[in-house]
């Protein structure tokens, strides 16, 4: 009888231990998946746009009081390379100071003409289009570009600038 | 049953608060700049940090970790690893359900103290509270309030609510009250904080007067929107049940009457309102809320099932015997059907199908904190009886684990497909580059470029020689005219040789000299302009040739890069494929174990429900037997000849 009692008492403990073991296994599996995903992401990036030809495009919104982006198009040497439509969540993340990675493209070394057109609405709800065209020089190092939408309080307007390094 | 509802109410509001926080995150009054998050000096660092926050705020957690790694690597290179990255890593781990890793990271960070921005600590506090780590949530919330760069103003009320809830959950009522004092009365977050404080006060049997004052305050200040109304009903239901337990029936009635009929709390409120009236001997009044309950809700709703028995019990108390018998008979029929249905649903194959359907329904949900809607069970005979399982934290946790495993398995299958495609791309890329014959192409192009260069140099030599000539930079028409002049010399000379006395050659010579003079004048007049134009064209040509040379160099570099664009990658792809296959096999085993655990859980729950319904059925039958027996005894007493 005492043996039965001990077994009965041990049962919940065993199931708890089993639960903890499964939990550990699940956590380990999740960690492995995260590592795999990170490696895969790196591999994809290296395959798609190796450092030597990579040109990374980013977008930031400084304040965003006078302009809310709805879409963006980036052309390099008159060829459309990047297109993006914004969701409300993405715009709000940008307004919080986040930097949007618009994407990586491949560029041959040398000079290239980059044109960005950002369509959106101003603070009065009117449709607006901001654009910028710049010549950039691609070397053997990755080209990093940043499109910055800046508010101009004096004109109650906004403009877009292209920075690269 | 009442106890069950009470326990249900005592569950903290973390999940609800988490859902709302996502909306709050996207609040309209967003005006913070990157500076508020703490801008790094280097541009690359700033962009990486911004990329990290972008993916974090948009819920792309895989990518978030990638950017976090890149950010950390970049920071490390400058010898200044950032604490903020570690705080955020802990928050992302929590978001992905990696609690243990998050906890380890959090304690390591907490030991170092400070350093991270207020927002980073806030995100961590939010996740820790969701994970019921109250101690950790309190530390993170305090760190957030003290941090520099400071917490963004839009998060302040939520963070204070987290702090109050975390402290209250640790049963430190007075400290929670102090923390609550700093909050805005009309914020919904203050409502959640008050609710959690009320829970703690009830748990601790706190003074009635303080508790009642806090309940009134909580109800009064809540916003009038849908969320506010739902929270109001929840507070009132909790307050009503607590008052019932303290035998303050009048007060409980007041709370129950204020609850609306539009939220999930209406059904338990109607049930408890009836019981409370019954406790005050208001029998007829007690039946009304139960009738409303039975009319408004599904017959399988736990509150409705309980009210079914409560009605005839009350009728019995008011000695409405005939009505009571009829009601008990109806209940007996209903309960018999329910028990039969329950037993036919509690079969292994049906439970298999039920779980499978649930897995398919939730297949699109992400894992980690994105799986907030997982507890929606599909309509099915099994779900009618297992709906109550959703109030069981342990079951919901196990369900979430199974879902995570399913999602991970799906992600792994996606990865395998992607890698197979990459493998193909690499083969095509290699073949294409080999067929292209890059070196030969480059040599050919270089040869052509050298030809052009030679021609340009020849032109340059010619230009240098041109300066030495008499008629330099003469045009084609000038040259024709010069040639004509030159030819005229022969004619004049031959005429001179013939030498007839009547022929005077002097005018011819004079005209020839004049013509030559004009021709030379014309040539020399235009020579500087022509020389300038020629030199300019030559410089342009040189410039074009130089560009061509640079382009050739770029093409050479591109070809070299392209040549190496597949090298080393097939091995990497195969390596990752092998790792994925191993993980898939491991997860398949855990999935099977987890599915078995859940089916056992559901089956045991249904067994328990079976026992409860059988008990209700027995009570109904017992009551019927008693009523018939009483009636028979009465009949026998009134008609003694029947008994003989």
Question: Model confidence at B108, in pLDDT bands (50, 70, 90)?
Answer: confident
CB contact under 8 A, A34 and B96: yes
Task: Name which of A28, A30, A45, A100 to mutate to probe chain B: the one with the most chain B Cβ atoms within 10 A of its Cβ.
Answer: A30
Degrees, nearest 5: CA angle B179-B181-B184: 110
CB contact under 8 A, A29 and B63: no
Helices (H) and strands (E) in chain A, counts: 2, 8
Q: Find chain B residues with C-beta within 8 A of A19's C-beta.
A: 597
CB contact under 8 A, B63 and A41: yes
| From A109-118, B223-232, B516-525, B556-565, the region with the lowest mean pLDDT | B556-565
B289, B268 Cβ separation under 8 angstroms = no
Q: Find chain A residues with C-beta within 8 A of B96's C-beta.
A: 30, 34
Q: Does A165 touch chain B (CB under 8 A)?
A: yes
Q: Could you tell me the CA-to-CA distances from A10 to A13, A21, B140, B413, B575 in Å, in that order?
A: 5, 16, 38, 40, 44
Which CATH number goes with the domain that contains A136? 2.60.40
Are A132 and A149 found together in one domain?
A: yes
Q: 3-class SS at B269?
A: helix
What's the confidence (pLDDT) of residue B78?
A: 52
Q: Using the predicted structure, report yes or no on whether residue B5 has a pLDDT greater than 80.
A: no
Q: 3-class SS at A91?
A: helix
Q: Which residues contact B125 (CB under 8 A, 6 or more apart)?
A: B137, B140, B141, B144, B159, B162, B163, B166
Question: Model confidence at B562, in pLDDT bands (50, 70, 90)?
Answer: low
Q: Find chain A residues with C-beta within 8 A of B590's C-beta.
A: 22, 25-26, 29
Q: Does A95 touch chain B (CB under 8 A)?
A: yes
Among A12, A33, A48, residue at a domain's last position: A48
CB contact under 8 A, A98 and B54: yes
What's the confidence (pLDDT) of residue B34?
A: 37
Are A110 and A142 found together in one domain?
A: yes
Are A86 and A155 found together in one domain?
A: yes
Are A97 and A64 found together in one domain?
A: yes
Are A99 and A64 found together in one domain?
A: yes
Q: Do strands A143-152 and A127-138 pair parallel, antiparallel, or not at all (unpaired)?
A: unpaired
Q: Work out whether the CA dihedral B433, B434, B438, B444 comes out positive or negative.
A: negative
Report the complex ipTM: 0.84
| pLDDT tens-digit series, residues B11-36 | 444 444 444 444 344 333 333 333 33
Question: Model confidence at B190, in pLDDT bands (50, 70, 90)?
Answer: very high
Q: Which of B373 and B362 is assigned the larger pLDDT?
A: B362
What's the confidence (pLDDT) of residue B408?
A: 84
- Crossing angle of helices B99-112 and B134-146, in 10° steps, is 40
Q: Find chain B residues with C-beta within 8 A of A38's C-beta.
A: 62, 65-66, 69
Closest alpha carbon within chain B to A101: B51
Q: Which of A97, A69, A79 is CA-nearest to residue A159? A: A69
Q: Does A99 touch chain B (CB under 8 A)?
A: yes
Mean pLDDT of chain B: 80
Q: 3-class SS at A87?
A: coil
Distance from CA of B162 to the nearest CA of A (A): 21
Homologous superfamily of domain range B2-248: Tetratricopeptide repeat domain (1.25.40.10)
What's the confidence (pLDDT) of residue B564?
A: 64
Token pair of B534 as six digits: 């020629």
Token pair of B74 as six digits: 């970049």
How many domains does the structure of chain A reveal?
Answer: 2
A83 backbone dihedrals φ, ψ, rounded to 5°: -135, 140
Are A72 and A145 found together in one domain?
A: yes
| pLDDT tens-digit series, residues B490-542 | 888 887 777 777 777 788 888 888 888 888 888 888 888 888 888 888 888 88
Name the residue among A22, A43, A165 with its Cβ closest to that of B576.
Answer: A43
Name the residue among B47, B579, B597 with its Cβ closest to that of A36.
Answer: B579
| pLDDT tens-digit series, residues B75-107 | 765 544 467 777 777 777 776 767 677 777 777
Q: Find chain B residues with C-beta within 8 A of A47's C-beta.
A: 422, 425-426, 565, 569
Taking residues B95-123, report their average pLDDT: 72
CB contact under 8 A, A96 and B401: no
Exposed, middle or buried by CB within 10 Å (0-12, 13-18, 19+), for A11? exposed
| pLDDT tens-digit series, residues B62-76 | 788 888 888 877 776
Q: Quote helix, strand, coil % in chain B, to nearest 5.
A: 80, 0, 20
B40, B46 Cβ separation under 8 angstroms = yes
Q: Find chain A residues with C-beta within 8 A of B34's C-beta.
A: 60, 97-99
CB contact under 8 A, A98 and B557: no
- The boundaries of the domain holding residue A34 are 1-48
Q: Does A42 touch chain B (CB under 8 A)?
A: yes
What's the confidence (pLDDT) of residue B239?
A: 93
Name the residue among B31, B54, B66 with its Cβ closest to that of A41.
Answer: B66
Taking residues B613-618, report their average pLDDT: 89
Q: Does A157 touch chain B (CB under 8 A)?
A: no
Q: Does A43 touch chain B (CB under 8 A)?
A: yes
Q: Work out whether the CA dihedral B404, B406, B412, B417 comes out positive or negative.
A: negative
Q: Find chain B residues with C-beta within 8 A of A39's C-beta.
A: 576
What's the confidence (pLDDT) of residue B23?
A: 39
Task: Name which of B54, B407, B410, B582 to mutate to probe chain A: the one with the most chain A Cβ atoms within 10 A of its Cβ.
Answer: B54
Q: Which of B380, B308, B265, B311 is CA-nearest to residue B613? A: B308
Are A83 and A30 found together in one domain?
A: no
What's the confidence (pLDDT) of residue B394?
A: 78
B210, B201 Cβ separation under 8 angstroms = yes
| From A84-88, B371-375, B419-423, B515-519, the region with the lowest mean pLDDT | B371-375
Ordered by start, the domain boundaries in chain B are 2-248, 434-569
CB contact under 8 A, A38 and B62: yes
DSSP for B30-76, written as a single string:
----HHHH---SSHHHHHHHHHHHHHHHTT-HHHHHHHHHHHHHHHH
Name the residue among A38, A108, A146 with its Cβ closest to that of B69.
Answer: A38
Are A86 and A116 found together in one domain?
A: yes
Are A67 and A91 found together in one domain?
A: yes
What's the confidence (pLDDT) of residue B14?
A: 45
| Range 108-137 of A in CB contact (< 8 A) with B | 108-110
Question: Model confidence at B49, in pLDDT bands (50, 70, 90)?
Answer: confident
Q: Does A63 touch chain B (CB under 8 A)?
A: yes
State the count of interchain CB pairs (< 8 A) between A and B: 166
CB contact under 8 A, A146 and B572: no
Taking residues B580-603, report their average pLDDT: 88
Peptide bond into B149 cis (omega under 30): yes
Question: Model confidence at B419, in pLDDT bands (50, 70, 90)?
Answer: confident
CB contact under 8 A, B583 and A63: no
Half-sphere exposure at residue B588, Cβ-oriented, CA atoms within 13 angstroms: 8
Are A33 and A67 found together in one domain?
A: no
Are A87 and A118 found together in one domain?
A: yes
Distance from CA of B111 to the nearest CA of A (A): 24
Q: What is the mean pLDDT of each run of 10 residues along chain A (165 residues)?
A: 38 46 75 81 78 88 86 92 90 88 86 92 88 88 90 86 89
What's B217-254 look like in SS3? HHHHHCCCCHHHHHHHHHHHHHHHHHHHHCCCHHHHHH
Distance from CA of A6 to the nearest CA of B (A): 23
């Amino acid at each position: 009888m005492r043996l039965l009692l001990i077994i009965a008492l041990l049962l919940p403990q065993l199931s708890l231990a089993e639960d903890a073991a499964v939990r550990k296994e699940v956590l380990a599996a999740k960690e492995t998946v995260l590592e795999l995903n990170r490696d895969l992401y790196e591999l994809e990036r290296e395959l798609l746009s190796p450092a030597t030809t990579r040109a990374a495009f980013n977008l930031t919104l400084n304040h965003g009081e006078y302009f809310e982006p709805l879409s963006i198009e980036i052309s390099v040497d008159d060829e459309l390379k990047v297109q993006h439509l914004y969701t409300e969540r993405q715009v709000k993340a940008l307004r919080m100071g986040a930097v949007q990675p618009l994407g990586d493209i491949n560029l041959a070394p040398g000079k290239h003409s980059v044109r960005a057109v950002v369509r959106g609405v101003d603070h009065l709800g009117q449709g607006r289009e901001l654009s910028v065209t710049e010549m950039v020089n691609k070397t053997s190092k990755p080209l990093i570009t940043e499109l910055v939408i800046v508010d101009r309080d004096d004109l109650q307007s906004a403009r877009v600038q292209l920075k690269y390094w | 049953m009442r106890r069950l509802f009470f326990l249900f109410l005592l569950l903290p509001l973390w999940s609800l608060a988490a859902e709302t926080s996502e909306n709050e995150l996207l609040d309209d009054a967003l005006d913070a700049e990157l500076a508020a998050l703490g801008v790094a000096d280097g541009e690359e660092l700033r962009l990486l940090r911004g990329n990290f926050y972008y993916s974090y705020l948009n819920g792309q957690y895989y990518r978030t970790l990638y950017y976090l790694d890149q950010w950390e690597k970049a920071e490390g290179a400058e010898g200044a690893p950032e604490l903020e990255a570690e705080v955020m890593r802990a928050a992302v781990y929590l978001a992905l359900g990696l609690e243990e890793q998050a906890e380890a990271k959090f304690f390591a960070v907490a030991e170092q103290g400070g350093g991270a921005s207020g927002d980073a600590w806030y995100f961590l506090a939010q996740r820790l509270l969701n994970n019921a780590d109250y101690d950790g949530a309190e530390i993170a919330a305090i760190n957030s309030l003290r941090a520099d760069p400071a917490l963004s103003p839009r998060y302040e009320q939520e963070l204070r609510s987290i702090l109050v809830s975390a402290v209250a959950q640790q049963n430190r009522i007075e400290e929670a009250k102090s923390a609550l004092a700093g909050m805005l009365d009309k914020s919904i977050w203050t409502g959640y904080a008050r609710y959690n404080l009320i829970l703690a006060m009830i748990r601790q049997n706190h003074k009635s007067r303080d508790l009642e004052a806090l309940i009134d305050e909580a109800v009064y200040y809540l916003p009038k929107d849908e969320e506010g109304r739902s929270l109001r009903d929840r507070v009132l239901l909790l307050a009503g049940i607590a008052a019932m337990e303290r035998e303050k029936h009048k007060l409980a009635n007041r709370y129950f009457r204020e609850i609306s009929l539009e939220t999930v709390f209406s059904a338990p409120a109607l049930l408890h309102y009836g019981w409370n009236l019954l406790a005050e001997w208001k029998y007829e009044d007690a039946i009304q809320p139960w009738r409303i309950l039975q009319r408004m809700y599904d017959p399988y709703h736990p509150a409705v099932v309980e009210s079914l028995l409560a009605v005839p019990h009350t009728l019995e108390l008011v000695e409405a015997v005939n009505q009571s018998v009829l009601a008990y008979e109806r209940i007996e029929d209903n309960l018999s059907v329910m028990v039969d249905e329950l037993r036919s649903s509690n079969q292994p194959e049906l439970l298999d199908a039920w779980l499978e359907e649930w897995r398919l329904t939730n297949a699109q949900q992400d894992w980690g904190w994105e799986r907030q809607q997982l507890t929606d069970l599909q309509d099915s005979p099994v779900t009618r009886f297992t709906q109550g399982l959703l109030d069981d934290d342990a079951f919901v946790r196990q369900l979430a684990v199974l879902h995570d495993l399913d999602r991970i398995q799906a992600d792994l299958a996606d990865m395998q497909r992607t890698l197979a495609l990459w493998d193909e791309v690499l083969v095509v890329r290699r073949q294409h580059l080999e067929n292209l014959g890059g070196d030969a192409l480059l040599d050919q192009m270089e040869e052509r470029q050298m030809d052009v260069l030679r021609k340009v140099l020849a032109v340059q030599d010619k230009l240098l020689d041109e300066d030495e000539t008499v008629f330099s930079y003469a045009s084609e028409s000038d040259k024709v005219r010069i040639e004509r002049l030159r030819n005229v010399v022969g004619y004049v000379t031959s005429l001179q040789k013939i030498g007839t006395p009547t022929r005077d050659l002097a005018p011819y010579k004079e005209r020839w000299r004049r013509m030559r003079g004009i021709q030379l004048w014309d040539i020399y007049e235009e020579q500087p302009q022509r020389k300038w134009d020629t030199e300019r064209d030559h410089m342009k040509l040189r410039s074009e040739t130089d560009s061509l040379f640079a382009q050739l160099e770029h093409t050479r570099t591109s070809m070299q890069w392209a040549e190496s664009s597949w090298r080393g990658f097939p091995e990497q792809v195969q390596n990752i494929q092998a790792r994925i296959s191993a993980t898939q096999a491991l997860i398949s085993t855990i999935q099977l174990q987890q599915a078995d655990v859940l089916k056992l859980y559901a089956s045991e729950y249904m067994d328990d429900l079976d026992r409860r319904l059988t008990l209700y059925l027995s009570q109904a039958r017992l009551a019927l037997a008693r009523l018939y027996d009483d009636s028979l005894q009465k009949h026998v007493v009134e008609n003694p000849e029947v008994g003989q």
